[in-house]
């Protein structure tokens, strides 16, 4: 029995050029994509970007989709903190950082927000994670927390106690995890961020001195 070419894609998002390579005898690849979408075998994430559907046996990974949807980018903020089990609440929007302009996407698989940051700030504290057969870029817990404090509107902290109260009561963050955090990532973020530097300074004081 001939193996279906789509199975080669696994859970990784793909564009029309990849689809064309799988079906080299197809003259009109956009029509082929439309038919596969109508059959429920692939999902259109945005113009020209698709992923195999769960109906086709795939297991789409939200973080991997975010990386492919708008890049270069990495998953961060509450989405990353939830991934690490540092906050309990389910996150309804997948949040990422990018060096491009800020953008949002509504897809059949969820809502994705991308927030712009300086180029020098972007690569700090990024790591690769694996889920099943999928690998994706995500902020370390330290970088995710910095991104949240820098990019969330209305957050301004003038004392470690206020920041601790926000983390523990509003975010329901596991503050005991702060003891194992790498402060060097905070220092790098402080050096390269262009906004809300005081929030990161306050975070450093909280982590290093508890004040």
pLDDT digits (tens, 9 = 90+) for 106-164: 999 999 999 999 999 999 999 999 888 889 999 999 999 999 999 999 999 989 999 99
| DSSP reduced 3-state for 8 | helix
Please state the domain extents for the chain.
5-56, 62-209
Model pLDDT, residue 55: 85
CA atoms of 202 and 149, how far apart (whole Å): 10
Nearest by Cα to 152 from 77, 203, 85, 70: 77
Model pLDDT, residue 24: 84
CA atoms of 190 and 204, how far apart (whole Å): 9
pLDDT digits (tens, 9 = 90+) for 33-85: 999 999 999 999 999 999 999 888 888 899 999 999 999 999 999 999 999 99
Measured in degrees and rounded to the nearest 5, phi and psi for residue 158 equal -110, 0
pTM above the 0.75 mark? Answer: yes
Tell me which of 17-26, 110-119, 170-179 is least confident: 17-26
CA atoms of 186 and 52, how far apart (whole Å): 38
């Amino acid at each position: 029995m001939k193996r279906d070419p789509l199975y080669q894609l696994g859970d990784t998002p793909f564009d029309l050029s990849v689809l064309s390579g799988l079906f080299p005898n197809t003259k009109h690849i956009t029509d082929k994509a439309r038919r596969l979408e109508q059959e429920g075998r692939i999902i259109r994430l945005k113009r020209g970007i698709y992923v195999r559907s769960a109906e086709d046996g795939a297991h789409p990974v939200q973080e991997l989709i975010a990386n492919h949807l708008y890049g270069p980018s990495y998953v961060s903020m509450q989405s990353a903190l939830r991934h690490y089990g540092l906050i309990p609440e389910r996150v309804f929007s997948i949040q990422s950082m990018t060096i491009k302009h800020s953008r949002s996407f509504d897809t059949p698989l969820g809502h994705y927000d991308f927030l712009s940051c300086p180029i020098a700030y972007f690569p700090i504290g990024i790591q690769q994670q694996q889920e099943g057969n999928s690998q994706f870029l995500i902020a370390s817990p330290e970088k995710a927390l910095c991104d949240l404090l820098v990019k969330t509107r209305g957050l301004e902290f003038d004392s470690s106690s206020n920041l601790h109260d926000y983390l523990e009561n509003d975010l329901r963050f596991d503050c005991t995890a702060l003891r194992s955090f790498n402060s060097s990532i905070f220092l790098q973020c402080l050096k390269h961020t262009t906004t809300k530097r005081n929030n990161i300074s306050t975070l450093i004081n909280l982590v290093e001195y508890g004040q």
